[in-house]
Structure 1
Amino acid sequence: MADPIPAATPPRSATDFFSDPLDSHPLWFKPSLFLSANFDSESYISELRTFVPFDTLRSELDAHLASLNHELIDLINRDYADFVNLSTKLVDVDASVVRMRAPLVELREKIEQYRGSVDRSLVALRNGLNQRSEAASARETLELLLDTFKVVSKVEKLIKELPSMPADWSNGDADLAEKNSTSNGISTQHVENGTNLRETQSMLLERIASEMNRLKFYMAHAQNLPFIENMEKRIQSASLILDAILGHCFTDGLEHQDANAIYNCLRAYAAIDNTRSAEEIFRTTIVAPLIQKIIPHETSAVVAGSYTDELENDYQQIKQSIDKDCKFLLEISSTENSGLHVFDFLANSILKEVLLAIQKGKPGAFSPGRPTEFLKNYKSSLDFLALLEGYCPSRSAVAKFRSEAVYVEFMKQWNIGVYFSLRFQEIAGALDSALNATSLVPVQNVLSAQGISLELTLKQSVTLLESLRSCWREDVLVLSCSDKFLRLSLQLLSRYSNWLSSGLAARKVVGNTVSSPGCEWAISAVPEDFIFIIHDINFLAKEICGDYLERVLKLLSSCSADVLDSIKQSILQGGKSLKDLVPLLINTIIEALVEKSIEDLRQLKGITATYRMTNKPLPVRHSPYVSVVLRPLKALLDGERATIYLTRETKNELLDGAATEITGRYYELAADLVSVARKTESSLQRIRQGAQRRAGASSDVSDHNVSDTDKICMQLFLDIQEYGRNLSALGVDAANIPAYRSLWQCVAPPDRQSTINL
């Protein structure tokens, strides 16, 4: 047995940690593609050479070939015994191959012969099928042409059976009756009067229309054929004659309200897809004369009558006319399963004529320049459209009516955007004008436009409430713009709130900077004026969050629950923004009262001059200024405005706040006065003691004398006792005020500091 084939040294080792593994290849080199059935070496190389250099590709292929050879040698060495025995088993292989090749070659020749025969048969079959298809198409075209010719001839024949002049048959003459008793098989006894004649003619016209419909179908499938082109004149002539006669028949049926004749004519119009002609005939024959009487748009008629742009009375008359003279046709066209749903007499006949009459006879009705009249006409028009929609037999008919071009054009005439702009200027301008006043304007016995007492005290507040209610008045609100009116309402509340907050802010800086425009009212206002504002704010907030909110939600009840909840929250937030201003107003009143009280409290500085370097004894009664410190607060609380317009809670809040602030300022002034007095006393005492030591006098000469500081503190103690009694008279316990307790401990004698006793 031969020795195994020595393995060639591979270029790389699979276990070489300092080089790539044996089976490592670039991402672009995929050996698996070589095993695919449709692998093509040339295309493979051409694709790779677009982005891989040729040398790199050749190196990679050489390396792959070396690895394959190495793998092959490994396989042979692994099964070397079987590989060697393989050659001993392959005996006379060539002879076996020759024996097997002969029948295979013969089989291939037979198959090629059969394939050729099948291909020839298939070509012959396809040619036959093409010829048959062409023949069938030619036959179909020929039949179509023959049917077209027959239909044209039939239509012309049926048209000849109709009277040539509509005036001949419109009155039911006897001669015309004889003329119509020919090939139709209609006996003279069936056309004794005009009604039977109209019905007969309408039935014949419906038949002709159905044939014309067939003719249109044939023409649509036989376009560009010479035969059809030669017959176009005959077809057009028949179509024109049919339209004219059908129009006269339909007009006559409308004038006599012949339901059968109208029904047949409408079916004829529907068959030839000419609904516009029927709608136009109805408009000019029936609707136009009625509307012309109600809304004349001729110059002479307009001048002769009383000219007004109001439409409500006109719509009432139009409604009566529709019910009397148009309802019969609307009922016929809405007959169930009649196929007449393609007509829209409501839009293209009635509404079109009404729109034309208003545009020519009353163009001012569409003008939003007069908002009240405009809104009245707009709502009347919506009621009129609702009446027309009531004649629609189904929801789909209503949707079709609203999608008509005439309906869209009619709605475009009402410029709701301009109307809202004018109302916005009117409502917002009234409030802005009131808020721009340089001072608060009190009012009494205020009545709203509806005669309801508003219980408000200021013109600015009255104007706000009137403006808010105007947004939702029946003669102002347009439901399609309800979102805009809601936004306007919230803007009005915001404008009023900003007016108040800006004024209060300007009041605090009036001494340092020039006041902003529109804030003069706050600077010139006295504390009693802010009582009016507090009352008005409480009333407005209650009204907005109560009856006003309920009215808005009732008007918008058709909205979804989520929308209504959003509306409710936005209005409640507007009311809350007003309530949030009450503490600021109370603080403003307190600041004004404190400023007045400080002017009197500054008199306590005179106590130092009274007892400094004097021989006055200890004081036994309070100072005169104490009695007037709380006088502004008491005058405010006992005044008429506070009694009438402030609630008990507000008065208590105002009283407690003012008492606390005044007491705090009182403590600051008194503590500063006592501190200065004690420092001065200490300095004088040291100077006096130094002088006595230099003179050799005893240092305790004045130990038994009462100092000036003690006298000052005693005077302040008597003053704060009286001040505390004045607070108690107002209903405030002075002991509950931290600043008062501090003041007491600052000036009270040592034996009385632990207990406050007035």
Structure 2
Amino acid sequence: MADLLPPSSRPVATDLFGDPIDASPSWLDKSAFLSPTFDPDPYLSSLRPFVPLESLRSELRSHLSSLESELVELINRDYSDFVSLSGRLVDVGPAVARMRGPLSEFRAKAEAFRATVAEVLTMLDDGLRKRAGAAAAREALEMLLDTFHVVSKVEKLIKELPTVPADGSTADAVSSERGPLSNGNLSQHVENPTNLRETQSILLERIASEMNRLKFYIAHAQEVPGSSPDKLVEDYEQIKGCIERDCKFLLDISSSANSGFHVFDFLANSILQEVLVAIQKGKPGALSPGRPVEFLKNYKGSLEFLSYLEADRFGEMICLEMGYCPSRSAVSKFRSEAVYNDFVKMWNVGVYFSLRFQEIAGALDSALVVPTIVPVQNAQSNDGGHNDLMLKQSIALVESLKSCWREDVFLLSCSDKFFRLSLQLVSRYSTWLSSGLAARKSHSGASNPIAEWAIAAAPEDFIYVLHDVAYLVTELNGEYLGHVTQLLSSCSPEVLDLVKHSILQGGKSLEDVVPAFMDTMIEAIVEKHFITHVG
């Protein structure tokens, strides 16, 4: 009768003390087996000190038998449900077949779309490669054309050298071709009686300038896309570490007055000498002005390295006790060494400035030789400024002026040259205005290409000119003047006064053309009104 009762209602067998006979011992925690993080090794290790392995194995087998019995009971209890489940799955096949069709169709469409996208990507990649190739070819062609023009100009100048008259009385044989910012200076100079040597010097100077430009094109053409030019900044950092780690002891000894080594400048004749030789032999490309941007970085890095050696930052002696020149006299002695002068002279900053001159002045000159003025509404330059200017020629002037003082262009040791270039730019623009007025009054601009714009300009176009002149004067006398004086703040007060006076004088030269433009505009409007209403 007891076998017919459910397991939960069956009597439990007990021992003499009333404990269930099949009850598991207290040290066997069955709930631990149900934990998802159960690990048998730690569990067995925790039981081994006080439970024999035979007892543990016996209890685990007993637990396994109870689990199997429970599983059989569960299957017997839900057997009817398992049997009926197979009967309810009779119509699953057709349903699966109905679902397979749309899924297969969707898969086909997805694969077709993927193939289309892959084809489009291939076409785009091919187009980008062709575009990059065309851009490279165009750049190479433009470089070849510029090189051809420079070579032609050099050939003409060379041919003119033997034709200069020996007595200097006339200069008709000398070409009147003008380069950037020449303003007719050569022609004006040659028209006056001059000796042969001075005239030839002017021609040779122009030839040298064009040759420097030609060297720049050659160096640029030799650069492989993707190549990394010689850089010295990282090398200097490594050299600093080596000096601090390996040479400081020797430097301290040699700088000591009682050591007997102070007569030999170890800092200059050993360390700086080795750095100089290593650069000349290992990275000569770092000294080439043909890559102006890289050249400027390497040059500034070299100056910083020299300042590091002498503990002098831009002329101000600081922290001498932490540097390698412990006194001002040591700094003077270090700078007087021949190797120091050789290190400074190997940087040809003159050629660098010449290339920058051609780049900056040539950009303005190209904008001013256009035969018409070019109004631009909401004009913006590459740096997002100048949206108050109305003419591209004016925008070119402002961009050229700012290029002279950009961080990646300006060089403090060439500050006088860059300042002179900025004044020449303003003078060139002023000459462009005054030449246009003179050509319009004389109704002849054929002899002066930079004056042709004024012949074809309508009276309304002069409003743009007057607007830009007013803006340029405000810019020169305000923000531009402050920026330049800040960069040259290390100069003496007398020099700063001359700089301010020169910039203000350049602004005044632009203001002086305003009345003449007003008169010309009024005359043109009256003439146009007279022709319209009377003629």
Unaligned 5+ residue runs, structure 2? 1-226, 312-323
Q: Does 1:527 align with 2:459?
A: yes
Q: How does 1:526-545 map to 2 (within 5 A)?
A: 526-545=458-477
Which position in structure 2 is the counterpart of 1:326? 247
Which position in structure 2 is the counterpart of 1:589? 521
**Partners of 1:544 and 1:572 within 8 A in 2:** yes
Which position in structure 2 is the counterpart of 1:556? 488
The residue identity in structure 1 corresponding to 2:475 is E
**Partners of 2:446 and 2:452 within 8 A in 1:** no
With over 3 angstroms needed to count, the CA separation of the structure-2 counterparts of 1:498 and 1:528, relative to structure 1, is same
**Structure 1 residue 449: deviation in Å?**
3.6
**Structure 1 residue 429: deviation in Å?**
0.6
TM superposition score normalised by structure 1: 0.38
**Structure 1 residue 365: deviation in Å?**
0.6
Q: What's the CA shift string for 1:150-197, capped at 9, x where partnerless?
A: xxxxxxxxxxxxxxxxxxxxxxxxxxxxxxxxxxxxxxxxxxxxxxxx
CA distance in 2, matches of 1:444, 1:324: 61
Count of paired positions: 297
**Partners of 1:371 and 1:419 within 8 A in 2:** yes
Structure with greater contact order relative to length (CA < 8 Å, sep ≥ 6): 2
**Structure 1 residue 320: deviation in Å?**
1.6
CA distance in 2, matches of 1:422, 1:504: 32
Which position in structure 1 is the counterpart of 2:335? 402
1:351 equivalent among 272, 280, 290? 272
What secondary structure does 2:524 align onto? helix
CA distance in 1, matches of 2:487, 2:381: 21
CA distance in 1, matches of 2:467, 2:303: 43
Q: How does 1:375-454 map to 2 (within 5 A)?
A: 375-390=296-311, 391-454=324-387
**Structure 1 residue 340: deviation in Å?**
3.3
TM superposition score normalised by structure 2: 0.54
Unaligned 5+ residue runs, structure 1? 1-305, 604-758
Q: How does 1:134-149 map to 2 (within 5 A)?
A: none
With over 3 angstroms needed to count, the CA separation of the structure-2 counterparts of 1:576 and 1:362, relative to structure 1, is same
**Structure 1 residue 452: deviation in Å?**
3.0
CA distance in 2, matches of 1:597, 1:319: 76
Supply the RMSD in Å over aligned alpha carbons. Answer: 1.7
CA distance in 1, matches of 2:228, 2:508: 50
Q: How does 1:298-697 map to 2 (within 5 A)?
A: 308-390=229-311, 391-510=324-443, 514=446, 516-602=448-534
CA distance in 2, matches of 1:448, 1:318: 41
**Structure 1 residue 602: deviation in Å?**
2.9
> In terms of Rg, which structure is larger?
1
The residue identity in structure 2 corresponding to 1:435 is L
**Partners of 2:229 and 2:294 within 8 A in 1:** no
With over 3 angstroms needed to count, the CA separation of the structure-2 counterparts of 1:352 and 1:555, relative to structure 1, is same
**Partners of 1:368 and 1:415 within 8 A in 2:** yes
CA distance in 2, matches of 1:334, 1:367: 35
With over 3 angstroms needed to count, the CA separation of the structure-2 counterparts of 1:400 and 1:459, relative to structure 1, is same
**Structure 1 residue 308: deviation in Å?**
3.3
**Structure 1 residue 397: deviation in Å?**
0.8
Q: What's the CA shift string for 1:641-681, capped at 9, x where partnerless?
A: xxxxxxxxxxxxxxxxxxxxxxxxxxxxxxxxxxxxxxxxx
CA distance in 2, matches of 1:328, 1:449: 52
**Structure 1 residue 599: deviation in Å?**
1.6
**Structure 1 residue 332: deviation in Å?**
2.1
With over 3 angstroms needed to count, the CA separation of the structure-2 counterparts of 1:359 and 1:350, relative to structure 1, is same
Which position in structure 1 is the counterpart of 2:11? none
**Structure 1 residue 448: deviation in Å?**
3.5
**Structure 1 residue 600: deviation in Å?**
4.0
The residue identity in structure 2 corresponding to 1:351 is L
Q: What's the CA shift string for 1:181-226, capped at 9, x where partnerless?
A: xxxxxxxxxxxxxxxxxxxxxxxxxxxxxxxxxxxxxxxxxxxxxx
Q: How does 1:80-119 map to 2 (within 5 A)?
A: none
CA distance in 2, matches of 1:325, 1:450: 46
What secondary structure does 1:527 align onto? coil
CA distance in 1, matches of 2:292, 2:338: 26
**Partners of 1:308 and 1:362 within 8 A in 2:** no
CA distance in 1, matches of 2:372, 2:445: 19
CA distance in 2, matches of 1:357, 1:513: 58
User: Among the aligned pairs, what percent are the same residue?
Assistant: 67
Which position in structure 2 is the counterpart of 1:235? none
**Structure 1 residue 513: deviation in Å?**
7.5
What secondary structure does 1:473 align onto? coil
